[in-house]
């Protein structure tokens, strides 16, 4: 058997930064949840442009998904955003 490494098709290719990226967070559908998510992300991305935020309620209306389009600078940049979202008790899931 050869010691050569064979390329595999199932390994993800790395992202090239900076790049456009959509950050998503889910929580209870309360009137200020979208503002909460945007404020957390804005700590890391102060230049969120108009139209970058979209909101999608769940089928039964109990939960809401907030998506924010950002310019990700690095993997560490994304990790910091996700860490802050995860740390907040009102954010039930981040995608």
Q: What's the rounded mean pLDDT across residues 75-95?
A: 96
Q: What is the pLDDT of residue 11?
A: 37
Q: What is the pLDDT of residue 27?
A: 97
pTM for the model: 0.82
Residue 6's pLDDT band, with cuts at 50, 70 and 90, is very low
Write out the chain in H/E/C secondary structure.
CCCCCCCCCCCCCCCCCCEEEEEEEEEECCCCHHHHHHHHHHCCCCCCCCCCEEEEECCCCCEEEEEEEEEECCHHHHHHHHHHHHHCCCCCEEC
Q: What is the pLDDT of residue 4?
A: 52
Helix (H) or strand (E) holding 32: none
Q: What is the pLDDT of residue 13?
A: 64
Q: What's the rounded mean pLDDT across residues 61-69?
A: 97
Q: Is the pLDDT of residue 93 over 50?
A: yes
């Amino acid at each position: 058997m050869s010691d050569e490494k064979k390329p595999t098709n199932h390994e993800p290719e790395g992202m090239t930064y900076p790049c456009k990226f959509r950050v998503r967070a889910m929580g209870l559908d309360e009137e200020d949840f979208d503002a909460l998510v945007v404020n957390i992300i804005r700590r890391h991305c102060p230049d969120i442009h108009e139209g970058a935020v979209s909101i999608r309620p769940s089928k039964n209306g109990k939960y809401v998904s907030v998506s924010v389009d950002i310019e990700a600078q690095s993997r560490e940049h994304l990790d910091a955003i996700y860490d802050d979202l995860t740390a907040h008790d009102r954010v039930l899931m981040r995608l």
